[in-house]
Amino acid sequence: MNPSHDPQLLKGVLSPVLLQLVAERESYGYELVQRLHDLGLTGVADGTVYPALARLEREGRVVARLVSSRSGPARKYYRPTPTGYDALTTGASGWRALADIVTPLFDRPLPERPAAPQEED
């Protein structure tokens, strides 16, 4: 069973994740939701992804173009800008740096009860 993903944790990494996905393949909003779910991030609400894309576009990290669709109205496909690629690099590095610290921390065995506080010198 997959562990549930804390929405607050996801919130912090959603932008770089979206940038990574659109860097791999231009996608429109709902398609990105599906791709996130395929990755296992099923707890991400669709209504979290769409404004996140709007924010990335406003910040100049992605650009969009309309592509006509046979099954309905034209869809807005996103891809990263040079600024977006930079943000992706920074975001991914930041995530890895954080994981390098936090992962070993969570691997430490826990005592049965917290140790007594250390006396200040």
Partner 1 sequence: MASTLTLLDHLRIEYAIVRVDVMISALSLERQEEILGELRTNLRAASEKMGSAEAVRRLGGLRRLARSYLDVEYGDPGPRPRWLIGILWVFVVVGVLLAVAFAGSLGFVHGVLAADPEASGTYAWHALAPVVRSEDFVFSGGRLHSFGVAFSAPVLAVPAVALGAAVLAIGARAWRCLPLWRRG
Q: Of how many residues is the chain composed? A: 121
User: Residue 20 or 48: which CB sits closer to partner 1?
Assistant: 48
Of 14, 27, 28, 62, the one binding partner 1 by CB under 8 A = 28
Residue count at the site for partner 1 (CB under 8 A)?
A: 22
* 96 binds partner 1, rule: CB under 8 A: no
Residue from 20, 41, 55, 95 touching partner 1 (CB under 8 A): that is 55
Whole-angstrom distance, CA of residue 99 vs CA of residue 94:
8
Beta bridge partners of 78: 27, 64
Using the contact rule CB under 8 A, the part of the chain among 23-31, 88-96, 97-105, 107-115 near partner 1 is 23-31
> Measured from the CB of residue 28, what is the shortest distance to partner 1 in angstroms?
7
What Cα–Cα distance (Å) separates residue 36 from each residue in 30, 46, 48, 108?
10, 10, 12, 30
Instruction: Report whether 99 contacts 77 (CB < 8 A).
Output: no
Q: H-helix or E-strand containing 68? A: strand 62-69
Query: Which residues in this chain contact partner 1 in the complex, by CB under 8 A?
Result: 28-31, 33, 45-48, 50-51, 54-55, 58, 69-76
